[in-house]
């Protein structure tokens, strides 16, 4: 056990004296949690084998699950990567700093611990002012997976971090709630056609506008369990994002989903289970369960992404046994949301259809717009 220091820092104008305290810990091989625009990250010096191994120990993370390296200066990309292709330069111009991670061939400078022994390295430049200030002041690239115990929902507040990692880490920089709420998009640029390994806030559609052809790895779609021998990027191989409660994901036409969730609620309550429903503004009034949580608006899926992991953690705090979650269309940021939901459910998915008459009626009312 170590004493975990919490530093409250202004997310818009980080206090330099506080950032310097955290940066010194990073330089000395310690662990510092910091907010990014996606989720909170558990950071260590990416070029220090011993420091990086502390990340795996604190998170109880499998050693073959690679980390993402965060930088504050674009020139560092050329130091960490063996080669920076033209596609990367186009993407950097469009999306950096921001929630896009690029997978490239690593240079000899990057230790095997950071990349889980792979010949590739995942790199991104976060846009959050605290993250940028910390990396710049530490003057080293920072390896940082999400700051939670392995398999748990990613943290979007400092409280989530402390619930999982208090006593395992040196410092938590509390910069308030994060923006996007789901992890960065990971794009593999070592393949013939750029391939999304993990969907995130930078969407496949947006990447296609810059690059033309973009593929989505089957594991990123998470439509069904897939055997992954080698995890090329975080989120590919192991169970992720899951609360302690069992999650059942219901997908399909909206009226069919609502009916099935109502049916499953009765079934599990009759079995003595405490049932929670992850609903949206458009549907919440239709449900009767022990806990009904509104995570956002279907027509504004970014609102759902922002609240997704927070809702999972709140269900656990309320002692829910079963979480019934509504699906979304897997397009734009909806693909990232469905990736997280399907993995959180352990692919426990119920797929339904709606009645043609009700589908037409709801379509006219704009019920399915997203």
Mean per-residue pLDDT, 181-195: 97
The DSSP 8-state label assigned to residue 290 in this structure reads: S
To which H or E segment does residue 325 belong?
Answer: strand 322-326
The DSSP 8-state label assigned to residue 38 in this structure reads: S
pLDDT of residue 223: 81
**Mean pLDDT in the chain?**
93
Alpha carbons 304 and 295: distance in angstroms, whole number? 5
**246-364 CATH fold:** Rossmann fold (3.40.50)
Q: Tell me if 285 sits within 8 A of 207, measured CB to CB.
A: no
Alpha carbons 130 and 137: distance in angstroms, whole number? 10
Q: Is 348 exposed, middle or buried (0-12, 13-18, 19+ CB in 10 A)?
A: exposed
Alpha carbons 243 and 240: distance in angstroms, whole number? 9
Q: How confident is the model at residue 337 (pLDDT cuts 50, 70, 90)?
A: very high
pTM: 0.92
pLDDT of residue 367: 40
**127 pLDDT higher than 60:** yes
Measured in whole angstroms, the distance separating CA 329 from the mean position of its chain's CA atoms is: 18
**359 pLDDT higher than 70:** no
Mean per-residue pLDDT, 94-120: 97
The residues spanned by each domain of the chain are 5-221, 246-364
CATH for 5-221 (3.90.1150.10, 3.40.50.300, 3.40.30.10, 3.90.870.10)? 3.90.870.10
Mean per-residue pLDDT, 23-30: 98
- Determine which of 62-76, 147-161, 274-288, 349-363 has the lowest per-residue pLDDT on average: 349-363
pLDDT digits over 230-281, tens only? 667 776 656 678 899 999 999 999 999 999 999 999 999 999 999 999 999 9
Cis peptide before 97 (omega within 30 of 0): yes
Mean per-residue pLDDT, 207-216: 96
């Amino acid at each position: 056990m170590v004493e975990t220091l919490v530093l409250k820092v202004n997310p818009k104008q980080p206090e330099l004296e506080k950032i310097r305290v955290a940066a010194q810990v990073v330089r000395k091989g310690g662990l510092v949690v910091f907010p990014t625009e996606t989720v909170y990250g558990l950071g260590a010096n990416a070029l220090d084998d011993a420091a990086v191994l502390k990340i795996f120990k604190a998170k109880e993370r499998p050693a073959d699950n690679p980390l993402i390296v965060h930088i504050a200066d674009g020139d560092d990309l050329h130091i960490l990567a063996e080669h920076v292709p033209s596609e990367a330069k186009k993407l950097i111009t469009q999306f950096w700093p921001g929630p896009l991670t690029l997978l490239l061939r690593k240079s000899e400078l990057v230790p095997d611990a950071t990349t889980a022994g792979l010949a590739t390295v995942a790199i991104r430049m976060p846009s959050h002012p605290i993250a940028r200030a910390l990396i710049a002041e530490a003057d080293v690239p920072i390896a940082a997976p999400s700051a939670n115990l392995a398999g748990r929902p990613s943290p979007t507040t400092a409280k989530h971090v402390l619930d999982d990692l208090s006593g395992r880490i040196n410092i938590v920089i509390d910069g308030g709630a994060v923006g996007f709420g789901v992890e960065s998009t990971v794009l593999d640029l070592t393949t013939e056609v750029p391939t999304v390994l993990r969907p995130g806030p930078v969407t496949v559609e947006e990447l296609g506008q810059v690059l033309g052809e973009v593929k989505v790895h089957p594991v990123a779609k998470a439509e069904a369990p897939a055997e992954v021998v080698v995890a090329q990027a975080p989120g590919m191989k192991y169970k992720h994002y899951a609360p302690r409660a069992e999650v059942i994901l219901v997908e399909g036409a909206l009226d069919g989903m609502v009916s099935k969730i109502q049916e499953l609620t009765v079934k599990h309550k009759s079995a003595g289970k405490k049932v929670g429903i992850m609903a949206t503004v458009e549907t919440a009034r239709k449900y009767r369960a022990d806990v009904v949580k509104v995570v956002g608006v279907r027509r504004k899926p970014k609102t759902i992404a922002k609240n997704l992991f927070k809702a999972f953690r709140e269900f656990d705090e309320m002692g829910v046994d079963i979480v019934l979650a509504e699906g979304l269309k897997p397009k734009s940021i909806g693909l990232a949301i469905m990736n997280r939901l399907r993995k959180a459910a352990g692919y426990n998915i119920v797929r339904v259809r709606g009645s043609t008459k009700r589908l037409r009626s709801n379509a006219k009312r704009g019920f399915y717009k997203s």
